[in-house]
Amino acid sequence: MANVKEIRNRVKTVKNTQKITRAMKLVAAAKLRRAQDAVVASRPYTAKMREVVGELCLNADEEVSPFFRNPEQPKSALVIVLTSDRGLCGGYNSALLRKLKTYVREGAESYDELGTAVIGRKGREFVRRENITVSVDLSEYPALADVEVASAIATTAMDSFAAGEIDRVMILFNRFQSALSQVPTFERLLPLDPEAFTNEDITPRDYKYEPNEQELLGALIPQYVTSQVYAALLESVASEQGARMTAMDNATNNANDLIDSLTLQMNRARQAIITTELMEITAGSEALKG
């Protein structure tokens, strides 16, 4: 059994760690509030952008825009993965990366080339460790919900797709549901699928467009793809802060349990020392009497 001094030092260490986890929980809670507000505020814009582009896509085909090019047998695909730069956020990264690993393993049979473009240090370390192909380097961009970052990611993906280098562009991110629940989600960015819009009950309207539909669609598609990437970044950041807040709350509670256990152990050790000393005093007293 550890002596009282060792146990007391362990209690002190756990208390210091608990102060850190409690502070991290409060910081994550404040960041989560802002990130959650941003997610809620962006959803109407993203939905409306999808509706407008959907109406324009009803009669669109590959001749209108290269972003509708949809070969029956795609040969190459790119998966944009949104992870975090930092850890200490529970299963936020691990669940997402397991889904990526499964997709890469299954997609190896469907595509001749399957590459990734990773945002976040945790994701980059994972693909390097698992020897997963990185076809687009996004290491210069931080794991932040920033419009410029979203625009750069979307532009890189659209340029590669328009040039015919990639036949599919997917994005993998954690969709925020609550601080306790984040769902790893795949979404297809490119090619655009007119049928996906019509499935949402978009009713054609007899609008007259100025400029014409083709020019308007050409201008809106880059904005639409950027809005999809930005929405995914917002969801990802909110999910990260929610997962970190929950993880730090659990760590703080576990520290309380550990402190209680160590305190009980320390009291037992102290009592054992006192009992031993009393027995030695009693034995010495009896020896003197004898």
What are the structural domains, with CATH classification, of the chain? 4-21+248-289 (1.10.287.80), 34-245 (3.40.1380.10)
- Tens-digit pLDDT profile for residues 138-161: 888 888 878 888 998 999 999 888
- Report CA torsion sign: 21, 22, 28, 29: positive
Residue 89 designated active-site = yes
Instruction: Give residue 63's pLDDT band: very low, low, confident or very high (50, 70, 90).
Output: low
165 Cβ contact list (under 8 Å, min separation 6): 76
Q: Minimal CA–CA distance to 241: which of 90, 18, 16, 22? A: 90
Judge whether residue 176 has pLDDT over 80.
Answer: yes
Provide the percentage of residues in the chain whose pLDDT is more than 70.
91
- φ and ψ of 68, to 5 deg: -100, 0
- Rounded distance between C-alpha atoms, residue 35 and residue 75, angstroms: 37
Options 24, 32, 60, 89, the catalytic residue: 89
Instruction: Give residue 271's pLDDT band: very low, low, confident or very high (50, 70, 90).
Output: confident
**What is the mean pLDDT of the segment spanning 4-13?**
88
Q: Which residue shows structure tokens 């993906």? A: 157
Torsion of CA 88, 89, 93, 94, to 10 degrees: 80
- Parallel/antiparallel/unpaired status of strands 181-190 and 168-178: antiparallel
**What is the mean pLDDT of the segment spanning 173-187?**
89
- Of the listed ranges 23-32, 48-57, 190-199, 258-267, the least confidently predicted one is 190-199
- Rounded distance between C-alpha atoms, residue 270 and residue 258, angstroms: 18
- Rounded distance between C-alpha atoms, residue 59 and residue 54, angstroms: 10
40 Cβ contact list (under 8 Å, min separation 6): none
- Rounded distance between C-alpha atoms, residue 275 and residue 24, angstroms: 42
